[in-house]
Structure 1
Amino acid sequence: MEKEASVIGNEVKELKRQLKEAKQTEKRNLKEEKKERKKQQKLERARFREEERMRKVQMKEEKKLKKELDKPEVHKENISNLRDDRRKEKKEREPDLDLLPVTWVSSYLPIRQIKNGVIYTTDHRYVKLIEILPINFLLRSSSEQRNIIMSFMSYLKIAPVKIQFKVVSKKADISEYIEKIKEEAEREPDYRVKLLQEDYAKLIERLGRKEAITRRFFMVFEYQSYNNNKNPKEREVLLYMRSVVQTAKKYLSQCGNVVLEYENDTRFLVDVLYQILNRKTSVYETLEERTKKVARYYQRENGRESISHIPVTELIAPETMDMRHRSHLVIDGMYYSYLLIPSHKYRTRVPAGWLSLLINAGEGIDVDVFFFRQDKSKSMERIGRRIRLNRSKIKDTYDTNTDFDDLSESIHAGYYLKRGLSGSEDFYYMSTLITITGYSAKEVEWRVREMTKLLNSQDIGVISCMFREENAFLSSLPLLCLDKKLYERSKRNVLTSGVASCYPFTSYEMSDKDGIMMGVNKANNSLVIVDIFNTKIYKNANIAILGTSGAGKTFTMQLMALRLRRKNVQVFIIAPDKGHEFARACNNIGGAFIQISPASPNCINVMEIRPTDTSASEILDGYTVERSELAMKIQSLHIFFSLLIPDLSHEEKQLLDEALVITYAEKGITHDNQSLENPDKPGQYKDMPILGDLYEVLLRKRECRRMANILNRLVHGSASTFNQKTNVDLSNKYVVLDISELSGDLLLGMFVALDFVWAKAKEDRTVEKAIFVDEAWKLLVSNELAGEYLLEIFKVIRAYGGSAICATQDLVDFFALKGGKLGRGILNNSKTKIILNMETSEAENIREELDLSEAEAMSITRFERGTGLISTNSNNLIVDFKASQLEKDLITTDRKDLQELKERLQKYGQQAYGKQTT
């Protein structure tokens, strides 16, 4: 009993002490308010005295001017000049308060000025805003996610005490991209490609209206003095801000995030605030146009001198703002409503990156998360006091009482926090504010209901900020100023590990400024636009497309090829199988379809040494040591003959080498490159030997008879189409080489075509070009030398400004040759991989090769046609590939689609392409 009495006595003393402290705090607040009122009164009196003084001065000057005007010797022109001078002096003396604002909202916003990349608020704080690029966190493996969270925790320990993470979602702005497509269409000479560009632009516009959403991620922090200096020097503030930004760059880069840098930080801040406050207007009116509009208004209403006095809030403030409704605001014609997660409505356990549920909720859903780090020693003292109080209370309750469970849980939670604080963790208060926007009150109400349902399904409760919408609006601004009453309703205590689980940068987007549109990101509905030739983003432009038969590899390849051709990129396609599938698109955009087969008149002379355009290399590099063109050609011919004669012995290789040198020598061609020049036709090469010439040389030696007999089939036999001079032209921007009718060991035609294209691709390093190789596994399994030749292209083509893109199935065969060295080499030299639907066994193989997570490997086996996984820059995202009706008609291989297209062609003719029928 004595112990209980002493405990109660201590509690009573504690309560008295707290009451005394509350009274003292109240007195201090009253004194401060009184001081503030006196200060305001003093300022008002000073202002009144200044105005009275200015009035007296003005009266004196008017009297003086009147006396001067009354003098007869003053000329009229002098009088006019004198009046103008007096008006100018009066205008200069006029205070800024007399300027007529464009909108009253400019004086309502809590911003004084924006200078040196820092926001100066009306409550005398200094706020900095930085933009951060996200990563695809959810598609990472569990070990990668754990490493990211640990790196984020490391940053939180040295981050500012107060942080606001802001995520803004809105419709993607595709106007600049559409404008670029139109410019490219104007420069395109072929009207068929122009039609393709117009159709492509319409597809982008349609997706932009319906699906395309983009998100921006910001981190906001404020200046905090280490010595409680309330009036810091500007240089001190800037140094602090710069230090925090550099620290954020360093630590967030360990998570895979990039902090964006801008040439003009002040301009960046103004532009961000303008877009946030003017969601509707900013779509069609840029910040430059708004600035000019405000300047014209000030000049008209306040005079030319007033332009230098325009406050920055005039540039960012919305023209209209309606706060008369209890459940929403109307700002710039958009309707705003706000939701708050109460402190007791969070889930007790959440996975890492759980905020992605809110971030990826859809268009018009913005998220603001506030974190306030508390003093560690004071927090431990407060928690200990609460534990002791709850333990004393629980003694007076029975275990059947509902209060017993609440007190017991509170005690356990207190011990959990205390253990965390005893270690390396800090104590935070967290608040979450959700902004919901729409074009009408009904749309906002519907989104609020749907958002509430979504969060309730995840055991997260929300409440509306009804009658506090204005406070919520001011809190949602990127100024790190959460309203006190909203803060009290929403603050939730968390440790550093809990804060790290709120890692917000989880919505990865792949939207390069100048690329080709692949489709729509299934995770967040953003447009996937890839510029594979951008060396700042991608180490190389190579792509490997993997998938089972019927998964859509050919469709995806042709879709990329058409869109690269639309950008005026030189496109070569080598089709070793089902070449007819490439013919329709090639013929309808004015491409060159070259069929290489025994029955085709087209021929590429495999022995031809072709002139190369070295003008770009000479300009860039100057003089370089010449390499023997003949030696390089003979080296590639050895690969050709190894395809033709797989069991070629070392002795036969030596004899073949001698025969090749003799064959070229008989045409006057030696290792001296000058011997290639035709003296009768300057600038052109001599007539080149053909396979028949080599056949004649081989017949001269008895040891070469076996090689000659095998070669005879290409000279006099059924495949004599190879025994001709080159009669095709590769000057077209879209070239398809169909070698699908070459079967068996005559697959060497694929090598011939690849060798021809490769020589053309190496000419000018400053020109973008792309080589597409379909069914690459066939070349790998046919011969080791051919596989190494293909691998060399993937390794070297980057140096010539090109891209190698291959599509393959049968991964077992792809990795079969040389223990998978060649197949893995191609994958390793492809910065971007596109994985379509696969069988379970193949998905397991590719999972090991690309280090995919279990969820990703499982999703690959369930992909429908038109869906795939793009893996690039250590990020993976699932994409719905999108094609317009015209593109689909040109490249589809589906039987039903072809049947429908056939009926349309029979009915409408060539105008049927791109038409939708019901």
Structure 2
Amino acid sequence: MSKNSEHHDTYIIPPNFIEGSTLFGGMFKIRNVIEAGVLAAAVGVPVFSLDLSLTVRIIILCLTALPLALFALMGIAGEPLSSYIIAFFKWLKNRRVVGKTEPKEERKKPKPKKEKQPAPENESMLSEIAGVIRKQSAKKKHTEEPRAAETPKQKKPHRRSKADSPFLNPVAEYLPIEKIANGIIYTKDHRYIKLIEVVPINFLLRSAREQRSIIYSFISYLKISPVKIQFKVLTKRADLNKHTEIVHREMEAETDPNCRVLQEDYLKLINQIGSREATTRRFFVAFEYEQVGRRSSNEEADAIASLQTAARTAANYLKQCGNEVLTPENEDEFTVDVLYNILCRQESSDIPLPQRVQDVVSSYIAAGKDTDAIPCTEFFAPQTLDFTHAKYICVDGQYRSYLLIPSYGYKSQVAAGWLSLLVNAGDGIDIDLFLTRQPKERMVNKLGQQLRINRSKIREASDTNSDFDDLDGAIRSGYFLKEGLSNNEDFYYMNILITMTADNAEDLEWRECEMRKLLISQDLNIVSCSFREEQGFLSSLPLTNLEKHLYERSKRNVLTSGAASCYPFTAYELSDDNGILLGVNKYNNSLVIVDIFNSAAYKNANIAIMGTSGAGKTFTLQLMALRMRRKGTQVFIIAPLKGHEFLRACRNTGGEFIQISPASKNCINVMEIRKTDRSVDELLDGAPIEKSELAAKIQQLHIFFSLLIPDITHEERQLLDEALIKTYNAKGITHDNDTLKDPDNPDRYREMPILGDLYDILLIAPETKRLANILNRLVHGSASTFNQRTNVNLDNKYTVLDISELSGDLLTAGMFVALDYVWDKAKQNRTVEKTIFIDECWALIGGSANRLAANFVLEIAKIIRGYGGSAVFATQDLNDFFALDDGKYGKGIINNCKTKIVLNLEDEEAQRVQSILHLSEAEVMEITHFERGNGLISTNNNNITVEFRCSDLEKSLITTDRRELQELVEQKKR
């Protein structure tokens, strides 16, 4: 790519064009100066009235009034002293514990982890959730007066007694949510909120052109989005329960003891990674119904229709960005589940929502209350909210604190997707981005007025004052905003709230310090919400309602392009519950669990692995093979080079190791027509179409002989065809498939000819004597093991075919024999998952390879999906891989592999891969600097940098590193 195409755009986040007035050359805000003067006067006047000497009074003033005045001038964490004191007294007044209280000693102890109940197999529990919510919503709808008649000035009803209250949990009554119906959140302050979930993309590893296109599409959405919108990123420990449940079911079905050991070891690895570093992220968008004019009797219906339309619009526009908006089957249940995950972070990981619903219903029955009137907040409210601490709150024993990026805390120039710095910060860090679009006409007038004021001020300011720089920046910002508004951009106020979560106060403080360091390193700033943690908690709910003081303290003016640069959906995760673990995403610590057979997510299950020698290609291939075998997938490995590297893993998993070489006793009769089980095809398609199996076999044999005899002429090929038919006829086999059956045993095929039978017929005619002489090597010569009947089988689920002892023309011929045998087996049952691993694929499709063999390999890549299978092609010599026919076969295989794994490559090879996979310069740079064990996975138009992970047992089975092998030898000796 050219340098221009890789130039990344920068976006402007201008300073606020309206700032509070300052004094003393811009050093202090007027409010701080007034407060300092009041404090100095309040302390100084009584001191001067004391009957003391002037010197003593001055000393007293220096010790009392002066420090107080300086303290007031500086403020606390950028906040005026009076504001901080007011917040302190409000906190003192409101500090309390909402919900069930426990003794402090008990509260400090970690709660025992509840055993997760398995989710119900049927949909009865899900329908129960929806039914309970519907009943509750319907009852409220009939009992309440129309919302249009309500006003905030209505008299508060008298307090009900605890027995009359429909709430069992005080926290459920405290939450500002009235009900959930039609997928809409009804708030207690009479607002309507819609919540959607967005699937992210791997934005950071896109090229500059792709990033620019995504930002432009996001700009288009922001221009027509609701006025108030909130983007919420929820980060928590990855929930691996579904994956481990699947592994447990696979263990129950496994009969091989060696593989059971492998499965137990895999479970330990999953739990180990999951408990320490595996995180997952969910992305939500909340928007509020825009009330136009006075309230009407049809306000609720209008709100529902408007928000549903807004949700569909968001889905359509975000699709242009590459994002998918998830469509839940039941929107009410989805909304409850999201709130449950946000409010009950730990409990939602241990207890699924259906089980929580059962528990709530059981508690209502035990209390003798009507289960038809359960408020929806009961299903997602935590048991306790502790607001007694100044710097954090406790939610069910879990500690949370809230941080803001203040108005002055942003960089003026940012890159696209810069918010990913916070999105990918780590476990327990949630991000809330609020955007509020302002009326354009009003902002244009306000900008013009403030520009005139600032210009008049700057004339009076000296250019040596810091106030001059602030005024100059405000003027520049005003002109930038004014120009942007005239160019069809909109004006927004942006706020960012950060939620920190930890299991104890010490960890919480450590995370806050690390977050400050991270942001300072990126020229960003944050402030805490001390004494306003409760307001931070309520603002973090997906209700588009940032508390007024927090809003004023953190708002920053941006245009549409600046707001779009905050594009938050940047933490792509590749995690399928029914897949195999490959490793950990290096950018966001999410687990990479891939189910290549999931046709809903992948067009095909093929994989291409590319890497230079020593990059870990064979290790990665074997790691995938072992984990597929663990799942019960049929695995075939064809190893043309260094076959001994596969022996250890094969034997220790109860696999079948087949060595094809002149010195081996194993043999695959290349001329055998194999009986295949077509029962599944008959059940699916009915009676099969009659095709000559002899004709199909002879077609495959022509490929074999063209590999063995590269200079075979067209005439010799015709004579060979005639000799093959005679050879089979001599055994009673013709183009009639019924002749294949053994007369003595109709369930089996006849005895098949071997190469020696063909050799005898070729030797008769002078025209085919050259072919016979060449074939003599496989019949009576050093490779006479090819002249035997098949004495191996492929019934084992982990089969390795080692042809590394073959060399020269025998290598490609032997590789074809093995591949042809495996291919016949793979085509038997379309409903069974199977994978063919072809190591060193360049040997079959490289520059010196035969076109017929290359076509055969390419055919496997194209059609194996139709047989329910997967082909994994591994190669290290990319130049040779793309050499034959100008890369026709290499490119064909790459194009038919939905998933590509790129390990470390040399510069020249990386440049070739860049053009084929359309990688960015940053990705190419990463590829050339990958250490062993790291790689780039490219799938579904997303690229992920992965650190491959294996257990000690797996490493001992598949490592090829000399030092690690030496350690294994010493360990076995001991």
Superposition TM-score, scaled by structure 1 size? 0.88
Distance 1:701 1:205 in 2: 69
Aligned to 1:238: 304
Which among 236, 239, 248 is matched to residue 173 of structure 1? Answer: 239
**2:152–2:189 contact (8 Å) kept in structure 1:** no
Distance 1:739 1:401 in 2: 81
Distance 2:950 2:465 in 1: 65
Matched, 1:791 2:855: no
**1:279–1:332 contact (8 Å) kept in structure 2:** no
Distance 1:700 1:228 in 2: 103
Matched, 1:461 2:576: no
Deviations 1:238-289, CA, capped at 9 Å, x for gaps: 2222211111111111111110111111111111111211112222222222
Which among 716, 720, 742 is matched to residue 780 of structure 2? Answer: 716
Which among 212, 217, 230 is matched to residue 146 of structure 1? Answer: 212
Which among 850, 862, 867 is matched to residue 800 of structure 1? Answer: 867
Which residues of 2 match residues 437-586 of structure 1 at below 5 A? 437-586=501-650
Which residues of 2 match residues 18-29 of structure 1 at below 5 A? none
The answer to which of 235-244 and 109-118 deviates more is 235-244
TM-aligned CA distance change 1:885 to 1:37, over 3 Å: closer
Aligned to 1:821: 888
Quote how far apart the aligned CAs of 1:227 are: 4.5
Matched, 1:311 2:375: yes
Aligned to 1:215: 281
Distance 1:406 1:183 in 2: 66
Matched, 1:336 2:403: no
Q: Which amino acid aligns with 1:452?
A: R
TM-aligned CA distance change 1:380 to 1:254, over 3 Å: same
Matched, 1:620 2:706: no
Distance 2:612 2:595 in 1: 26
Which among 22, 32, 40 is matched to residue 155 of structure 2? Answer: 40
Matched, 1:157 2:223: yes
TM-aligned CA distance change 1:405 to 1:100, over 3 Å: closer
Deviations 1:336-364, CA, capped at 9 Å, x for gaps: 11110111111000100000000111111
**2:579–2:593 contact (8 Å) kept in structure 1:** yes
**1:102–1:294 contact (8 Å) kept in structure 2:** no
**2:195–2:335 contact (8 Å) kept in structure 1:** yes
Aligned to 2:332: 266
3-state SS of paired residue (1:98)? coil
Distance 1:672 1:366 in 2: 70
3-state SS of paired residue (1:606)? coil
Aligned to 1:699: 763
Q: Which amino acid aligns with 1:99?
A: S
Aligned to 1:753: 818
3-state SS of paired residue (1:750)? helix
Deviations 1:59-79, CA, capped at 9 Å, x for gaps: xxxxxxxxxxxxxxxxxxxxx
Aligned to 1:419: 483
Q: Which amino acid aligns with 2:911?
A: E
Distance 1:274 1:560 in 2: 36
Matched, 1:882 2:946: no
The answer to which of 96-105 and 582-591 deviates more is 96-105
Compare the two structures and name the one with the higher helix fraction.
1
Matched, 1:255 2:370: no
Matched, 1:767 2:794: no
**1:212–1:525 contact (8 Å) kept in structure 2:** yes
Aligned to 2:462: 398
Distance 1:38 1:822 in 2: 76
Distance 1:395 1:889 in 2: 76
Q: Which amino acid aligns with 2:963?
A: K
**2:229–2:544 contact (8 Å) kept in structure 1:** yes
Quote how far apart the aligned CAs of 1:387 are: 0.7
Distance 2:292 2:741 in 1: 78
**2:581–2:592 contact (8 Å) kept in structure 1:** yes
**2:166–2:374 contact (8 Å) kept in structure 1:** no
TM-aligned CA distance change 1:247 to 1:96, over 3 Å: farther
Quote how far apart the aligned CAs of 1:102 are: 2.8
Gaps of 5+ in 1: 1-34, 48-93, 908-918
3-state SS of paired residue (1:682)? strand
Could you tell me the percent identity over the aligned residues? 62
Aligned to 2:111: none
**2:436–2:494 contact (8 Å) kept in structure 1:** yes
Quote how far apart the aligned CAs of 1:804 are: 0.3
Quote how far apart the aligned CAs of 1:667 are: 1.1
The answer to which of 428-437 and 673-682 deviates more is 673-682
Quote how far apart the aligned CAs of 1:231 are: 5.1
3-state SS of paired residue (1:447)? helix
Quote how far apart the aligned CAs of 1:297 are: 2.3
3-state SS of paired residue (1:398)? coil
Deviations 1:859-904, CA, capped at 9 Å, x for gaps: 1111111111101001001101001111111111111111111122
Distance 1:398 1:329 in 2: 47
Distance 1:199 1:271 in 2: 33
**1:280–1:333 contact (8 Å) kept in structure 2:** no
Aligned to 2:426: 362
Matched, 1:681 2:745: yes
Distance 1:825 1:787 in 2: 10
Quote how far apart the aligned CAs of 1:612 are: 1.3
Quote how far apart the aligned CAs of 1:124 are: 0.7
Deviations 1:354-409, CA, capped at 9 Å, x for gaps: 00000111111100000000101111111011111112222223334433332222
Distance 1:642 1:672 in 2: 26
Aligned to 1:198: 264
Aligned to 1:841: 908
Distance 2:153 2:886 in 1: 86
Quote how far apart the aligned CAs of 1:37 are: 9.4
Distance 2:296 2:264 in 1: 60
Task: Calculate the aligned-residue CA RMSD, in Å.
Answer: 1.5
Q: Which amino acid aligns with 1:40?
A: K
Quote how far apart the aligned CAs of 1:845 are: 0.9
Q: Which amino acid aligns with 2:625?
A: A
Quote how far apart the aligned CAs of 1:97 are: 7.2
Distance 1:601 1:862 in 2: 44
Q: Which amino acid aligns with 1:755?
A: D
3-state SS of paired residue (1:765)? coil
**1:100–1:298 contact (8 Å) kept in structure 2:** no
Which among 769, 778, 785 is matched to residue 843 of structure 2? Answer: 778
Distance 1:269 1:774 in 2: 48
Deviations 1:605-637, CA, capped at 9 Å, x for gaps: 000111111111111111342221111111111
Distance 1:454 1:38 in 2: 46
Gaps of 5+ in 2: 1-149
Distance 1:137 1:124 in 2: 37
Q: Which amino acid aligns with 1:309?
A: A
Q: Which amino acid aligns with 1:865?
A: R
3-state SS of paired residue (1:215)? strand
